Amino acid sequence: MSATFLTESSINTILMTTSIHRPKWQLNNDPACQFKWTWSTLFLNFGTTSSCHRCKHWKLTVENFMDFHNLPGKIGDREKMVKGQWPGNGCEYCKVVEDAGGISERIGYINDLEMVPPENEIDPTETHVTPRLLEVYFSNLCNMSCTYCSAKFSSVIQHENQKFGEFTKNGLEIYEWPDNPEYEVMRDMFWDWMDLHGQELFTLHVLGGEPLFQPEFEMFLDWFDKNPCPNLEWVIFSNLKHNTIRLVSQVERIKELIAKGKLKGFQVNVSIDNFGKEAEYARHGIIWDQFVDNFTFLAQEKWIGMQVQSTICPITVQSMWQLYDFILNFEDPRINLSWNTIQDPKWFNPSRFGTYCLDGIDKLIERLNQSPFSQHHNIPYLLGIRNQISKARCDSYEMIRFKTHLDELDVRRGLKWRQLYPDLSEHIEKNITTDDIIFQELKIMGAPTGDQEVKNAT
């Protein structure tokens, strides 16, 4: 993910939209970070855990699982922060932004985020604490196979890779992802942990896979029914590929939980990038008309928090403005908007394609500017991405990997990306010369060629 500077929308992802008045963060010596104390991400699919989602993954075992928020590595990072030191282990992400004069997540949230662990309400320097914000990835069970996703997060892609076998060509590797052998045990331990600490949480993020498609979603509904959490705001990240009738009944159950004071709020962060046929290609498996029905249903339920998250890359950016035209037509300032660019896999990063993506970003900015609601603009953030892309040069190596990837997916999925994206196909072919192909072959063979950056230097 590449979101370097915070936007109002990204803050709302964490805080949701409700106003909260809880104890403030008291440990004011830099670079202490409230997230390091209060946030845990659990990757049950990998058997790892991190502090905020930027940070190093620490290995989970059956022995250490029940204290996943206080593994020695996490405590060590907090101790360094108490002493006024940056801990490394991923926090470089914030340090680099701050060194460049930007507002990092650490700084951006520190005053507004009222999620102080209970232990720090008594002693601000205590390093063994209980999280208030939990983010959990269960298995990779998903009902879609987005073009830029991998078997790590999609069981559909995992099955596709099993069916077609490993693929290696032009520096591209597609391979199976090993499941966490302790998944079932850790999932059971997760519910044990929830029984002990779930009611102390303020925010719960559930990611996937696809949360609405996973059995854990129904398990949560039953768990909240038995274990009321009147302070908890539940956020799920969904592709909205669902039978609409089933979605309506699931939402009804959540509405009932909130009405009974068993849950404070509910937010859906909708992952969608672009419009119509191009959306059906990029987010393979989605049914566009069904998506429209489901989004419309959620938008009409005004008590649900909503955020749209879009990934900018060459196969999404050209029709992205049409998606936002659809969303902005709801004229609903409650719907927050956010964007990111892809860092991994590198060959989907828009800056690898020279200035190809500028046109799509400009159309998007033009449409956003027409919204009467300032929270829909986020123009400075998009201008930051635009600025980066405006200086970009075509990276032949990554463009070759990109077209190799899409060609292979076409074989596997019976698609024809070049027909859907003729301009992109032409742009790539025009910007790869015979020299580049020879260079690319040498690079794959391991022959000394110098770095691509050196080759591009002027």
Rank residues 52 and 144 by Cβ distance to ligand SF4 and give the closer one.
Answer: 52
Rank residues 79 and 435 by Cβ distance to ligand SF4 and give the closer one.
Answer: 79
The nearest distance, CB 202 to ligand SF4, in angstroms, is 17
Rank residues 106 and 427 by Cβ distance to ligand SF4 and give the closer one.
Answer: 106
CA distances from 56 to 74, 115, 131, 221 (A): 9, 22, 17, 31
Query: Any idea what DSSP says for residue 18?
Result: S
The nearest distance, CB 381 to ligand SF4, in angstroms, is 18
Locus of tokens 């899409």: 406
The nearest distance, CB 87 to ligand SF4, in angstroms, is 7
The nearest distance, CB 110 to ligand SF4, in angstroms, is 9
The nearest distance, CB 75 to ligand SF4, in angstroms, is 13
Beta-bridge partners for 309: 271, 338
Residues 146/309, Cβ–Cβ less than 8 Å: no
Rank residues 32 and 149 by Cβ distance to ligand SF4 and give the closer one.
Answer: 32
- Residues with Cβ within 8 Å of 170's Cβ and at least 6 positions away in sequence, in order, are 400, 401, 404, 440, 444
Longest dimension (CA), the chain: 68
Rank residues 35 and 347 by Cβ distance to ligand SF4 and give the closer one.
Answer: 35
Binding site for ligand SF4 (CB under 6 A): 33, 35-36, 51-52, 54-55, 90-91, 93-94, 104-106
- Residues with Cβ within 8 Å of 371's Cβ and at least 6 positions away in sequence, in order, are 328, 377
Reduced to 3 states, what is the DSSP secondary structure of residue 335? strand
* Tokens describing residue 417: 């990306």
Measured distance CA(422)–CA(12) in Å, rounded:
37
Residues 432/404, Cβ–Cβ less than 8 Å: no
The nearest distance, CB 283 to ligand SF4, in angstroms, is 28
The nearest distance, CB 90 to ligand SF4, in angstroms, is 5
Task: For residue 353, report the phi and psi dihedrals to the nearest 5 degrees.
Answer: -110, 30
The nearest distance, CB 106 to ligand SF4, in angstroms, is 4
Rank residues 78 and 367 by Cβ distance to ligand SF4 and give the closer one.
Answer: 78
Reduced to 3 states, what is the DSSP secondary structure of residue 100? coil
Measured distance CA(413)–CA(282) in Å, rounded:
12
Rank residues 77 and 210 by Cβ distance to ligand SF4 and give the closer one.
Answer: 77
Rank residues 133 and 251 by Cβ distance to ligand SF4 and give the closer one.
Answer: 133
* Tokens describing residue 284: 């393979």
